[in-house]
Structure 1
């Protein structure tokens, strides 16, 4: 009887660990949980101004002019992003995934609508959805669902 209980307990523990491990892996397969987007946003991404460096749209990369105000800043407490594209200010909800591999933009979004033709204006306003995020010591690269790539520097 002891051996049967031990084998059943071991099997249940193994199944629980396998299920927990699969759920934490972030895979999109059946029975797995999505990435945790309720965790505290990373201090490496939030709370610091990120200045736009390059923007790639439809395969064409544009270098942001030196001195441009274009950039993003993420607020960990409010779970928001504010930004400037060199002409207009914008902001809205933004959740940094707990593992910093992605940022989801959505919910209420606002923007000024100044009709300026500034050479400093660049398309960095995230259009919504989940962007892949890569962070290094001084660079944040966001790749949107449409292939739009925004590279920012601290």
Structure 2
């Protein structure tokens, strides 16, 4: 059974495959100070406990992705990133909603994530999706100037 969800801008969302690792690493590197290497993405994409979703066009050009890790009855959003030219078009929300829909078929009942407390756009999105702040992690994210940002830990029930 092929999983497929609609996305804004004429794109669709489907499960990521190992062959997508290079594109995910590129988009991640455009989105975060310390992007993850292709090999890390390949390892995640080869693991059934790490479902990933890509937003792409009919030629499979990837505009964004979300990567999740499952453990027992919990899910963690490991990372989500959207190509800079596609930001602000609702892809992040569509990727999260596809993940929620897919997770309804799993044992996961709660999802967690960490977000830089200064990433206000992401925090607004997560709050609109039902996440609530539950704690913080000081010094969690490295910054280019050598300082470290605090992560806000958020969670929501999956249904």
Name the TM-score, length of structure 2 as normaliser: 0.29
**For the pair shown, which has the larger CA radius of gyration, 1 or 2?**
1
Q: TM-score, normalised by structure 1?
A: 0.30
Higher relative contact order (CA 8 A, sep 6+): 1
